[in-house]
A and B are shown apart, each in its own frame.
Chain A
Amino acid sequence: MNTEYLYVQHHSWLFSWLRRKLDCHAQAADIAHDTFLKLLIKPYSKDLQEPRAFLLTIARGLVVDHWRREDLHHAWQEAMAGIPEDITPSVEQQQILLATLQAIARLLETLKPRVREAFLLAQLEDKPYADIARYLGVSIRTVERYIAEALYQCYQLRFSDE
């Protein structure tokens, strides 16, 4: 079962499914396209038993990426609205920052909410552990455990390609 065959057989329903999910023709077309692109890049078993389920898994991941990018962009714009113009970074700088934040957001989603909150306060706001402990209503030991867990995830993400 090659990618071309998969494309011919499945592009049409995948596209209409995405269009229903995203309410947008162009985005649905993009993500449908990216789904098959991933198949080309990523090796997969040639005797795919459930091609529909397989394609949906990939497409769903891309939809989540798309949402995350949108949500992050929105939250970022909201925050930037309160910043004086003379210290606003250039569009290019903002793109770079958003890409970094996107990677962090992907990581954060794998963390438990409290671990995530502790990590954000410690690493991005540089709050002392004692303050975080008080804020979360847990012991400093627990905060240290949370941060250790989050940093280990960061580490794995950073060196995952080795």
Chain B
Amino acid sequence: MSNAPQLPAPDTALVKQAIAWLIQLKSKENDQATLTGCIAWRQSSSEHELAWQRVNLMLGEMQQDLNGIPDGIQVSQVMQNTMRHMQKRRSIKLLALAAIAGSTALMTREVMPWQPWLSDYHTTTGERRSMMLADGSELFLNTDSSVNISFDEHQRLIILNQGEIMIKTGSDSSSPRNRPLRVQTRHAMLEAIGTQFVVRLQQDTTLLSMQQGKVSMMPAAFHAPQKIAEAGQDYLIYQDRLDSVQLPMEADSWTLGALVVKEMPLADFLAEVARYRTGHLGCDPSVADLRLSGVFQLDDIDKLLALLPHKLPVVITYRTRWWVNVDRRA
């Protein structure tokens, strides 16, 4: 440390305090009291300041080391995938190794208990994935989504915790009896009747968009009406009611990596696109109602945004990489 090279390494307690301040600063962004408190803590002794410097040095180095990672690579996903494989290998192979070594006391590394990965899936922002479930159904996960899957002898249950999924139901031929396939959200239970459909969880409502077959909709409230959604229909499902709606977009086009919209207000379009990238994406009220139609590729959101000035009288302003605004062209 350039300002205090002669000081011994700070004690554990101080390092932990420095980390706690750092976290508070991030948690309460722009909070003046936290900022003042942190500065006062740093200034109260040179050991405090040293601990602070070293924690920040460590973080800075980490950031710098990771700087070369290209945009579009989800580092956390790469790491999670690595961990997942490692865990699998360890639980299978290392137990065998331990037996050969003849002394379990030598197992210094903890063998993690098997995680229920097989039944929990999630995607990060910008990521999409599809998978085949045990019954032959296909499940597509859109950006920033999470599901728990729980199949038992009575039902095939998919709990949507966040985001959006599409399901193409399979025949469930390996099961002795035909188990219903259900999707549960905090607003409703949906039961598939041979079918393909998209379910999106939003703040106050669940959006159901039917491509093929039928789905029976059961809102969470006991007295709420139940109804069957048919192919081509879209519904907003609240806890206590069902509203039929017409979407200005093809609800399932994301499974093909595209956004297909028709006469969609720009503000809504940007809200859609914002789901696929981190950071702020907004627009000036004067352009919010401009209508947009077309097919947009979701693989490169910056490229997608760059198309907008060709279609509408707007300019894209990048204040930082994470703060993008769409304004009226002067």
Roughly how many angstroms separate A56 CA and B300 CA in the complex, as a whole number? 48
Identify the stretch in B35-43, B87-95, B165-173, B216-224 within 8 Å (CB) of chain A at 4 or more residues: B87-95
B85, A83: Cβ atoms under 8 Å?
no
Determine whether B11 belongs to the interface, using a CB cutoff of 8 Å to chain A: no
Tell me the minimal C-beta distance from A96 to chain B in angstroms: 7
Judge whether B90 and A64 touch: CB under 8 Å: yes
A108 interface neighbour in B24, B79, B108, B125, Cβ under 8 Å: B79
Is there contact, CB below 8 Å, between A79 and B100?
no
Contacts of B81 in A (CB 8 A): 71, 74-75, 78
Q: Say whether A12 faces chain B, with CB atoms less than 8 Å apart.
A: no
Q: From B14-22, B237-245, B281-289, give the one contacting chain A.
A: B14-22
Docked CA distance A108–B84 (Å): 11
B27–A125 CB distance below 8 A: no
A82: chain B residues at CB < 8 Å are: 72, 299
Asked whether, in the complex, the Cβ of B100 is within 8 Å of the Cβ of A56, the reply is yes
4 closest A-B pairs by beta carbon, nearest first, are: A120-B76, A75-B81, A71-B85, A100-B65
Within 8 A of B (CB), among A87-111: 87-89, 93, 96-97, 100-101, 104-105, 108-110
Given A75-B85, A125-B74, A151-B55: A120 in contact with B9 (beta carbons within 8 A): no
Tell me which residues across on chain A come within 8 A of B57, comparing CB atoms: 158
Cβ–Cβ < 8 Å partners of A100 in chain B: 62, 65-66
B174 on the interface (CB 8 Å rule)?
no
Could you give 15 example pairs across A and B, Cβ below 8 Å?
A56-B97, A71-B81, A71-B86, A74-B85, A75-B78, A76-B78, A82-B72, A87-B71, A100-B65, A125-B76, A144-B24, A148-B20, A152-B16, A155-B15, A159-B54
| A binding-site residues for B, Cβ under 8 Å | 17, 21, 50, 52-53, 56-57, 60-61, 63-64, 67-68, 71-72, 74-76, 78-80, 82-84, 87-89, 93, 96-97, 100-101, 104-105, 108-110, 113, 116-117, 120-127, 129, 134-135, 137, 140, 144, 147-148, 151-152, 154-155, 158-159, 162
Determine whether B256 belongs to the interface, using a CB cutoff of 8 Å to chain A: no
Give the bracket for the number of chain B residues in contact with chain A: 35 or more
Chain B residues in 8 Å Cβ range of A127? 278
B101 engages A72 (CB within 8 Å): no
Binding site for A on B (CB under 8 A): 9, 15-16, 19-20, 22-24, 26-27, 54-55, 57-59, 61-62, 65-66, 68-83, 85-86, 89-90, 93-94, 97, 100-103, 106, 108-110, 112, 115, 122, 124-125, 146, 161-162, 278, 299-300, 322
